Each structure stands twice: as structure tokens, then as C-alpha cells.
Structure 1
């Protein structure tokens, strides 16, 4: 299927839109402006492979920066089978039960004045402000061309700053942002949307020019879509988001085992897109993982199958529908992600990191060359996050501390994080050991403990209860101080330390442990989801295997087996769900575009973690390690920083800084392209000619 074009008007637009809705493509028309004698000012083009939030943010940054950097005609192709702006993950067509794990007040897609970037700021509403504007009519097109349903209207009316909105409501906000961005584009810019998938890139129409910077002045490259259409592109941006991956390692073994024994294996995937009907009512199901994918699974299998929750005697109870399976869930930690925090700071205002600073990082580079994450960076990051925690504890809850914040902070600044002096200072100043921050205990709260089967379940349930009391009661605002401290160093690490400055092992640690730890502490589910989890546990619908859980198979009886090393208790079941997203990156990707780029030598996987290698300007590196000047990539599957799609308002968030820089790089490179002499006739590659002939035959019937 093709798409709709912005910037085409009148009868042509109506006919073109009708053809595209029928799955037909008309050839792309280029606008040509007369330039200097003997040359033609060619319309430049950008292809965005992926149309989700990150692509929409890039489109907005292209719009904001274009007046200062590029004056020629520009066509932007947005290619995504899902609606532009929302994309796959945030599309409207999904379960109305699935929610964001961010509050409505903490979501924006606008590069506001807090963002430290070269491009101009563009103020705009956060999600909750947008909803209010839709309701009062100040944002007249907020509901979109197709309107809303009763459920979305109720969500708009009920949304509050502290609400956790559904992904369906978020889709309206993102689609409105995309439409507003396109409407704000000045004359000479056309945006064309293709409800299609990019499958390959043909550099300058000839295979021998792969990766050649010199070929960039010879004319546009070509992007091949799944329908066979070829789009011209002077620059290409991969904004693919989370892509599917071919089963590998343990997952491949589980898939093979299930096929041989007639068992059920659900591999890593976006939960909403999984066929969960294979999990039969009343059956036992092993679940590997207790992160956000597990929360989605829980919602869809219980409330999604007709179950409900009710308050009874001061606590939540689950009322089953009779169509649910029983889940046996475990993970390395054995506990779910920590709940999102409710409440406000009571003490001193947050401040910028004091220890992970440009000067500190420069000194480390001078001393060591490439940086070791554990040795060089984590002690500074831990100290900054702890400083934010203790600042709130001392200034917001002085009765729980001794000696005062000024004295403590002065001494704290002079001691190393992993030192007896720091431990002694905290012990002298914070009387209750429960108030002392220990990152290792925070990461693995049940480590080193032994249980029987019942004890393991009780320990996990008690941990969840304690976490809710600590983070959702509003009385322990030091946890919010820690949240903000970790968020700050997460962004600061990406700002100060390029991936190439790290050792190979450290790049793997950042992509693995650090991102996982940050998500576990700062990016967990809303508190009400953990209350629902406890209600399901009390109802016997969800059973906890405990920490240190591993999963295997039993060839003798064709079952999967889950066992916790903390208890030794084993559970067997005919079904296993791996509740997580596929590994992001190039290695093992099932995405046809990524696979074709790798096969052509235009992209390479990082040998440390398998992600797509990009340089500091987000240019893809080819197999020889050279940046491909016209091919960029952003997102979780790359070695670049700033993979988020949106962020908190007024937070100078990394995704906004990086997206602005990328937009300026793209526009500057387009402005630098030489206009080629106008050819006597179009030059087609054999592949492009075949695709255009096929499209013409389809159109003519």
C-alpha cells in the first residue's frame, strides 16, 4: 500500500490519494527550479524509514532548522506501515488496557527552551496540556480526522497530571503532533507518507558505489519498498524502533523444543502483537521476566480475558473470569521493576551533577584513554545519584538524619563512592540502616537469601509491598530524589561520553547492565499495576518462582522447567513465555532493511553488543568502518545515545538534543550537495526500471 501526500492539492491530490488507498503508487514527481546556467536546482529528498515518535520529532526539528540551513525544494518521504506519529508501539489499534509507565504531566514531544541545542526552541503542550486544549477547543484538530470513540472521550475528560494514560490516548497526541508539524512546514517542502516497509537501499542506483562519499554528488540514491516502489533519497534515516529478531541462543533452542514436543513457546516480542490464545485457560504457564513486558502480559491475560479487580476490606481483590491461565514467573532478580513514584520533593531543589562533569570525564580520558565503565564512570554516576538522594533525605526529612546537610555534603564531596570513608560518613549521619543507599542491594534485593518454595513467594510479595509503601505513599520523597538523580546521570552520560570512548566490555555494560538497572529503578510500572499483581498472587493466578530463576527443558516429558537457585524448587509446564522485547540491534535482526544493509556491507554490528554501529553524528558505519555520509540511524538498536522517543518537559532531555543535531546535520549536508547538470532523460537502474514498470502495470490493470 502507498500513502498520502502533503503538499499536493486539488484534483491531483484526490486522485492520487484514491490510487494509494487502492494499494497503487504513482511515480514520485520532482519539482525542478531553474538555477544557474547549465544546471538545475534539483528537489532534494530525505527518506525516513520508520514513522513513529522519533521520526515525527526529527520532522519537527527539520522544520524548525530549515530556514537557517537549507533554502531549496525538499521532499520528505515517511515510510511506515503504521500511522505516522504513533507508529507501531503507540498506534491507536491496540488493547485499551495498555498504558504508559509515565504520568501525563511527564510526557512531551516538544523541544522546549530547556533543551541545549543549536536549533530554535518550539514550545508546545505536554500530553495533559494537549488533552485540556482538545476539550476546551483551543486545539481544534486534536481528535484527528477520524474522531474518537466513547472510551477515548472518557479518557480525555478524566486525564489528570498524575494519570498514567493509555497508549491509545498517547496515539492521538502523537498523531496530532505529526499533523501539526507537517502543517507548519513552509513552502517548498512536501511530506509524503507511504504505508509500506523499506526493504533495501540502492546507493546511486549502482552496487559498486556502496559507501562512497564521492557518489553523493551524482544524484539521489534509491530506497526500495516492499511493494517494489523505489523512492529517491539524498539522505536516509533509519528510525525503525524495536524490530523483530530471529530466534537465537536459548530462544532458538526453546522454539525447536516446542516444535518437536508440541509445546507452546512465545518468544520475545511486543506483547500486544502476540497471539496469546495459545495459552489455554486453566493451564500452567512459565514466564521468564518481570519487567514491563510482563506487566503487559499480565494485563492482557487477566483483565483482558474478562477478569476484574475490586476493593474489599481495604485491599484489592481479583475476580476471575474462568478463562485465565496460571502464571509461574521468575527472573534473575525475582522481583518486578520498582513502581513509579507518587509525590513531590520536600527539600532542596534538584541540581546538575557535581561529579560526572566535563572536567572529570576529560581528566579520565587523559589518564586512561578509553574508559572503563565500572572503574571510571559508575563511581561518579553512583555518587551523583546518591547525592540527589541524600540531599532530599537531609533537607526534606531532617528528623531522619544527623549533623545537617551542609556538613554532610561537604564531607561527602571529598570521599570516593567505594571507600570506607563514605560508608563511615553515611553510618554516622543516617541512623536508620534502611535509609542508607546501597545500589547493590537496590539492584538485587533478595540476593544471598535462601528459601523454600513458599518462602520465596512470600519474600517476593513482601518486597512488592515494601516497595509500594516506600514509593507510592508520598512520605518517602528521598526516593524521588534518587529517581531524579539517576535520570540526570543517565542523560549526562550520553552527553559527555561518546560510545567510542568506552572499552568494548564497557559498551556492552552500558547497553546491558546500566540500561537495565536504570529501567528497573526509574522506568517501572504505575503503582496500581503492582497492586493488581499482588491481588493476582493472592488469588493464586500468579505464582513467584523467586530470585535467580533459570529456565530449561525436559526431553523426557516434553515440558519446560523453571527453577530458582534461591530455593531449588522446580516447576514444569507445557508453555513458556519469554516476556521481553527482542534484543535491539543489527545482529540477529529479522528486519529486511537491516539485513540487506549488512549483506551489502553498508552496516555493521558492534562486536560488543550486536547493535548497529553509528558515529557521533548518527551516520552508519560500513563494513570497513567508514561513515556512510547519506545514511543515518537513531534509536535503541544503535550504538548512539538518546534512544528515547519522548521525555519530561523542561528536562533538557537527550533525545531532543540529539534529534536537533541530526536535523541540522541532514540539512547542512543537503545544502552542500552540488546540483548535477540536467540529464537529457532519466537514468534508471535495472531494479528501479523493473519496479516502475510493475507499478505502471498495476495502475493500468
Structure 2
């Protein structure tokens, strides 16, 4: 269930295995998703101004080489290749409400640009139609627009219950996304206040579903959060309301207001938006070879004897290596880069190697200043910070010291997953160094928006459309005025009020508080369990994830539920970084996992499945 990228890839793996093996006399594949193909995140008719966070040449749904899988490899167009080949005709054949914008987009799209989420949704619909052409007489594939309420084990299979149907199944793959949670005490208080005063309060949800239809021009709106959902909200309230941008003589972006924009007041605890992504100037399949967090070093640690501190240090040294490699080339041509970097790798104290080199102190890589921009004295304002972020991003991944260093996180994804899925850390170190420190650094430094969004934010600050509060954002209610109130600890004397408050972030992954009826049923019936860590002092800590066996993706703990698989976002915490779409040109974890699940299903000795 789930008809987004993971569900589609799983369907493709089933079809291709059946084509080769003819294992089943009749194979019925039913994809269940209330939103249809593309799922909730990728509808074609969402606001076209919303863009992806990954370049189009780095998105695919085909399991092709160099993926190491059991099933057949089948080549096909990645998102960019499709946009430049079959997309135009496909879009013209379908009655999309934003058809004209999509047609213009595919003609203008660059390999290292950023496609609209609408276009990725169309790609997924094209892929589904392509899958129909791969069916032989033993197979059928269909999509049901239903919400799954229950999965009930029965005999040698399962019964899947939706709002109106009971469906028998021999195997169930649950590929779910983000789900809303029960409100926290603070959210409930704010929600009650909003209902009492007839205000608008938006709890964490999918940003493309924000309803701003009653928000009037010049009216204020408070956005709490400066992450990706914040940028989506700002885009819908500016570009989505007819605003535009142009370049001035100095190549700076300037905002042209439509007059329909509200006043956007935004902030967060940190007070700074996520770092923008560096300009992609290398092939999507290009990945740096690790020097510290190597596969051999990871595999040498058995029985969870890896030090969490050493793990995070090695991640840091990989990032620093990428930084100094580019910095020397850019600013220190007199330094023998090969010799210095080789010493950096071999030293027991790589920082000391840098300190003894000709590199100026001001150019040393400083983790504290990166993670906490307020600690860097050169930034007198958030505007200066954004300008610096834009400049470093424009230097590109290949030559830019900071842009290249931040991209190193992406190059280490598989290495980090080896640590997580191999359970190499003690639960205490897993909580402190991976769920704590690494996630904190990675989310701020590496998964931010495309550079253009940072440029747009800088222009909107100049235009007076957006106001950033500063660090330590606070939100409360004002009973006297009947409105929401916000300010920052950095500037407590300046307070703003609004009748609109948006929690600009996705729902947290939390099986304990989720509203998803299927997850609740699986937990209450003890078919699934919450993942928890066993900490020192006989303490237990729930991660929010649904427990799965990391080798099979089964939701097994005290007993095995054969051919009942749980995969994707709700396992975040048990797995690591479960939101990414599949990537071409690498041994991609999404494609490998789909193939692993399907291969196990095909090992069943039965002669039919549904």
C-alpha cells in the first residue's frame, strides 16, 4: 500500500521478477492509496511553483545498473531524460490543470536545475502506465483510491480492510509516508484558542496542502519553522500570488510584488534558515571515495563495539577533507595538496596537520560556527548570512569548499546506513551521536533548499515581504487582542500579532502518537511494535519508529509475520534517512530494498498470490 515512489518501485520489481521466473500462475498487484499514483506528496495538480529538492538527473524509478540486486536489471529514463524525451507528448495527452506550465517546464528544464513536484508526479504516472506495458497474461496491476484501515493475519495470508473493501492478500508491503499526530499540549492549547477566537491555526502537515485562501493581502501570517516547509509556504504566498523576480545589474535577485502578498513573520529556535544546496556541477553518479568512514573500518567493528565519538569524528573528517581539498586548490596553490591531504588521512590528529600547515586560521573549518551561525562574528545580520550562503553555494560542488563539503554528507549515506543497519553503535551512542548530533548537523547543513530559494528569501527581506525574528522564537496567545503573538528571545521587545499561525514543518515520525489508523491497528493488535532503545541504567527510549527487522523489512520482533513488510518514513529511527527518492547511477538503497522484499516473496513455495 502506498502509490508513491516506493510503492511504484516495489510494483516494478514484482512485475520484472514474474516476467523472468513465471513463479505464480496468476499474480494480482493491488496498489492502495487514497491519493492515487504519486501518493499524497506528488500530485500533479499541486501548486506548480513548488520544486523538488534534488536535481532531475538524480531521480529514477528504474532498477538498472550499477544496482546490485537479485532480480533483473531494467534500464529506463531518469526524470531529466524523460523530461527531454517522452514527457511533452505524455503531458499533452493528459488533461492536467497546469498542463501549459508543465509543457513550458520540460522545454526549459536543465539537468542541474530543479523540477517542479508536479512534473515528478507526472513522471510517476507515466511510470505506472509503463508498468502496464510490462504485464503478461499472468499478471494484473491496478490502483485503488482507498485508505487502509487494518491488516489482519488470516491462515497463510492477510485480509486488508479499507473503508469499503476486504481484500485477501498473500503478501503486504506497506510503503507509507508522513502521518499527522495527535496534538501536543501546546498545539492543543493553540488550537483551542484558534477555535474560540475564529483564527486560523495549521498544525504540522504537508505544505502543498496549506490553505491560504482566506489570507488577505498585507495581512500578517506567522510561520514557525525555517526549514523546507517554510520555503514552500513562502513560495506559495509570493510566486503563487503573482509575484516575480528579476536580476539587477549586479546579478542580485530583486522581488517584484504583485500586491497580493501578506506580511510573512517567521522564525525558529535557531533563527536561521537551512543552508542552501550548492550548485550541482558534477554528474549525478559522481561520489567521493571515503577515507575515514570506510566500509572496511565499519565492518571491522563487531558486536556493537564502535565508539559513537569516533564515528562522528570520522564523519566530520570526511567533510573536512572535502573542504580542505577544494580550499587548497582555490586559495593555496603553493601547498602540495596531495602531500598535505595524505598526512591528514594518516594522522591520529588531522586537525593538528592543518594547524601546522600554511592554511590561515581564518580558513579553518569551524563546526560550531557552521551549526550555530549566530556564533560567527562576521555576520551582523541574517541578510549577511544569506549573502554568504548564496556566495558559497554558487561556487559549486566541484570547486566550492563549503558546498563540496556539505555534499559529502550525501556521499556518505550508504556508509552511515551500514553503521545503522549493522547496529554497530550501542543504543546510548546511537541516541546521542546519530539520532542526536548527526541528525542535527545533517538536517541544517545538508538537506536545505536549492540555492534559488535562499536568493529569493534574501530578495523578499529587502522587499519587506518577509520578516525573520531572530533566534529563540516564541509563540503565545493574547487574550486581550484575540490573536496569536510571536517574538524572539534575541529581541523580546519587538512583538508581532496575527490571526494566522502555521507550524511550518512536516509531522514528526512518532508511532506512539500517530493518527494513521493502520499503524494504530497494527500496534494495538501486537502485529507491529514500536522501536525502542535499551539505554544504560535500565532506561528505555522510544525512537518514534515502527520496529522492522533491518535485514528483511518485516515488522517482526517477538514473532515473525511472514510476507508482511513495513518500509519507508514510519521506520525513521530504526533506519536512517527514509525520505529520499531512488537515485540512478549508484547502488541505491531504495531500489535494493524493494528488490530484497520482492525476492523474499518470490521464494514462497506457493503457486499463486494476490
Following the alignment from structure 2 to structure 1, what is the Cα–Cα distance between the partners of residues 477 and 424? 41
Please name the residue that 2:106 is paired with: 156
Are the aligned partners of 1:392 and 1:481 in contact in 2 as well (CA < 8 Å)? yes
Question: In structure 1, the residue corresponding to 2:253 is in which secondary structure?
Answer: strand
User: Mapping of 1:302-701 within 5 angstroms?
Assistant: 302-314=238-250, 315-342=252-279, 344=281, 350-366=287-303, 369=304, 373=308, 375-394=309-328, 396-397=329-330, 399-400=331-332, 403-416=335-348, 421-429=349-357, 431-447=359-375, 459-474=381-396, 476-498=399-421, 500-508=423-431, 510-511=434-435, 513-555=437-479, 557-574=481-498, 575-607=500-532, 608-621=542-555, 625-638=558-571, 639-641=574-576, 643-668=578-603, 671-673=604-606
Are the aligned partners of 1:306 and 1:321 in contact in 2 as well (CA < 8 Å)? yes
Structure 1 residues 585, 123: closer, same or farther in 2, change over 3 A?
A: farther
Cα deviation per residue 1:26-53 (whole Å; 9 max; x = unaligned)? xxxxxxxxxxxxxxxxxxxxxxx11111
Question: In structure 2, the residue corresponding to 1:281 is in which secondary structure?
Answer: coil
User: Mapping of 1:223-242 within 5 angstroms?
Assistant: 223-227=160-164, 229-242=165-178
Provide the TM-score with structure 1 as the length reference: 0.77
Are the aligned partners of 1:619 and 1:628 in contact in 2 as well (CA < 8 Å)? no
Please name the residue that 1:104 is paired with: 56
Following the alignment from structure 1 to structure 2, what is the Cα–Cα distance between the partners of residues 389 and 184? 46
Structure 1 residues 486, 78: closer, same or farther in 2, change over 3 A?
A: same
Please name the residue that 1:61 is paired with: 13
Are the aligned partners of 1:547 and 1:565 in contact in 2 as well (CA < 8 Å)? yes
Q: Does 1:253 align with 2:205?
A: no
Following the alignment from structure 1 to structure 2, what is the Cα–Cα distance between the partners of residues 505 and 143? 55
Cα deviation per residue 1:624-666 (whole Å; 9 max; x = unaligned)? 6434223211112112346244244213232222222222122
Deviation at 1:114, TM superposition (A): 2.1
Question: In structure 1, the residue corresponding to 2:442 is in which secondary structure?
Answer: helix
Question: In structure 1, the residue corresponding to 2:223 is in which secondary structure?
Answer: strand
Structure 1 residues 426, 175: closer, same or farther in 2, change over 3 A?
A: same
Question: In structure 1, the residue corresponding to 2:449 is in which secondary structure?
Answer: coil
Structure 1 residues 401, 634: closer, same or farther in 2, change over 3 A?
A: farther
Which stretches in structure 1 are left out of the alignment for 5+ residues? 1-48, 205-217, 450-454, 677-701
Cα deviation per residue 1:431-483 (whole Å; 9 max; x = unaligned)? 2445432233222211377xxxxx99x61111111010111144942334324
Are the aligned partners of 2:288 and 2:411 in contact in 1 as well (CA < 8 Å)? no
Please name the residue that 1:30 is paired with: none
Structure 1 residues 429, 665: closer, same or farther in 2, change over 3 A?
A: farther
Deviation at 1:97, TM superposition (A): 1.0
Following the alignment from structure 1 to structure 2, what is the Cα–Cα distance between the partners of residues 285 and 243? 24
Structure 1 residues 502, 665: closer, same or farther in 2, change over 3 A?
A: farther
Deviation at 1:296, TM superposition (A): 0.5
Following the alignment from structure 1 to structure 2, what is the Cα–Cα distance between the partners of residues 122 and 674? 25
Are the aligned partners of 1:617 and 1:662 in contact in 2 as well (CA < 8 Å)? no
Cα deviation per residue 1:535-565 (whole Å; 9 max; x = unaligned)? 1111111111112334344455544343333
Equivalenced residue count is: 590
Provide the TM-score with structure 2 as the length reference: 0.88
RMSD: 2.9
Structure 1 residues 653, 392: closer, same or farther in 2, change over 3 A?
A: farther
Structure 1 residues 351, 100: closer, same or farther in 2, change over 3 A?
A: closer
Following the alignment from structure 2 to structure 1, what is the Cα–Cα distance between the partners of residues 511 and 429? 19
